[in-house]
Amino acid sequence: MPILRGVSMNILAEEQLKLFEKGISEEEFEKRSNEFLDLYYRIRTKDEGRIWNKLSLEQRRKLHWLVLTVYKVKNRIGGFSHEVLKDLRKPTNRPIIFAVTHVGKFDIEVVSEAIKDHYYLLSGDYEHLQGLIDEKFLSVNGVFYFNEKDKKDRKAVSKKMIEHLKQNGNLMYFIEGTWNLTPNLPMLPCYWGIVDIAKEGNAIIIPVACEQYGKKFKVNIGENFDMNKYGEGNEEKSRAISDLRDTLSTLKWEIWESEDTLKREELNGDEWDKYVEQRFSEWPYFNKEYIKDLVYRPKGVYTNEEVFGPVMKLSPSKQNAFLFDKRIKG
C-alpha cells in the first residue's frame, strides 16, 4: 500500500537523510544534526498547536470509530487482512497499555483493527510521519511524540503518559522500540519504561504479538499483565520486563507455530533477505543501519558481530592461528 501523502512534503525525513550521507566529516555531521534538531522541534511544536491536537480525551474517543473506519478502508485497499489467533483479555476498569511487538509499517492500522479499543499512540517517528496524511489521523486519535535521542524529551513524554493513564486513557506502546527484523528472535531486548509507566499509572498491560506474512497479518492477544504483582526497585523492574518479554515471545512463537512448515529443500536461502527488503520498501526512510541504532542494548550483552568481528578481520599468522582454530572447533 502506498504511503498517503498530504499537501506538504515530509521535510524532516528528507533533512534527516542528509545525516547519513557518506563521506561527511564529524564537524559537518554535528552541524547538520544541530540544524535538524532545531527544525524538528520548531515543526513539531507548530503541529502540536493545531486544532486536532487540542481535542480532549472524550472527543477523541467519540472520533475513534472514524479513525478505525479509515484504517479498515486503507487495509482493504492495500490488500491487507488479519487473523486474531486468540484474545485472552479480561474486562478491567483500569487503564490499559497495549504492549505490541513491531514488525513493520502497517502494525498500527492492523493492530488497531484487531483490538478495536481507543488508545493514544507512543511514537518516536514524528520526523518520518510529519507532512503525511497518516500523521493527521494519528493526531485525531491521540499520539504522544518524543525524540528517542533526547533524554529530556523522553522524561517529558513519560509524565504525559502517566497523566493520561490517570485520566483512564489507554496507550499503544511498541515495547521493542523499533522493527524486529531478526530472523529467529521472537522479541528484541526491551526498555524498562513501560513497567515504570504502568506502575505509576495503575495500568493493566495487554500483551499483543503481531506477525506479517506478505499481505496477511496474524495477531495474538494475551492475558492481562498486572504490574501490581511486582514490588519496587530495579530487581523487581528487571523481573517484570523479563516476564513481559517472555509472555510476548510465547505469543509470537504461537503465531510461528500456526504457519505451515516448509521443508529444507523448498527453501532458496534468501527468503529472509527478501522479507527484510519488502519491509523497507514499504517505508523508504528506514534502513538496516537506522534500525540497528534503535535496538536497546542491555549492559554486558554483546552481539556475535561484536565478539567475533575483530577475529574475522585478522589475517592468519603463526601468532594468531590459535584463534582461528578455536573458532572453527567452536
CA atoms within 13 A on the CB side of 87: 12
Q: Which long-range contacts (CB under 8 A, 24 or more apart) does 180-184 make?
A: 180/101, 180/102, 180/103, 181/276, 181/279, 181/288, 181/291, 183/272
Q: Predicted confidence band at 58 (pLDDT cuts at 50, 70, 90)?
A: very high
Pairing of strands 225-226, 204-213: antiparallel
Residue pair 172/210 in contact by the 8 Å Cβ criterion: no
Hey, how many other C-beta atoms are within 10 angstroms of the C-beta on 140?
Answer: 18
Supply the pLDDT for residue 262: 63
Over pLDDT 90: what percentage of the chain?
Answer: 57
Cell of 37: 534538531
Residue 2 has pLDDT above 50, yes or no: no
Give the integer Cα–Cα distance in Å for 124 and 149.
9
What's the CATH number of domain 11-265, 3.40.1130, 3.40.1350, 2.40.170, 3.30.465?
3.40.1130
- DSSP letter assigned to residue 19: G
Query: Is-contact 272 184, C-beta < 8 A?
Result: no
pLDDT in tens, 299-328: 655 455 544 455 455 566 655 565 555 444
Choose the weakest-confidence range: 167-181, 195-209, 276-290.
276-290
- pLDDT at 276 exceeding the cut of 80: no
d(CA 290, CA 285): 9
C-alpha cell at 85: 489467533
At 87-97, the pLDDT tens digits run 999 999 999 99
Among 58-62, 69-73, 218-222, 273-277, the minimum mean pLDDT is found in: 273-277
**Rounded-to-integer distance, Cα 116 and Cα 72, Å:** 11
